[in-house]
Amino acid sequence: MIITSLAVHPDFKRTKIATTLLEDAVSIARKNGMTQITLQVAMDNTAAQKLYSKFGFVGTSIIKNYYGKGRDGIEMELNRDRA
């Protein structure tokens, strides 16, 4: 299962939509036997990082210039034993 992007329109932020989308994505992945989920998030997107951390995702590495020159990303991972 590959999800290339998870986003919420600015007009609907802080309405728990992202939480619901992530809950559903993790649930579907688990039901299909996935034991590890990896995602990338912008270093400056602290709101998303906090959400992912609440689900048990942990940062595993920094990806230089992942979002363009000078805009790094963080790779985060969720393992079955953390879910």
Would residue 41 count as lying in a domain? Answer: yes
Domain that holds residue 69: 35-83
pLDDT value for 82: 56
33/37 Cα distance (integer angstroms): 11
Would residue 66 count as lying in a domain? Answer: yes
Instruction: Render 11-30 in DSSP notation, one character per residue.
Output: GGTTSSHHHHHHHHHHHHHH
Q: What is the pLDDT of residues 5-59, one digit of tens each?
A: 888 999 998 899 999 999 999 999 999 999 899 999 999 999 999 999 999 999 9
If one counts the domains in the chain, the total is 1
Q: What is the pLDDT of residues 54-69, one digit of tens each?
A: 999 999 999 999 999 9
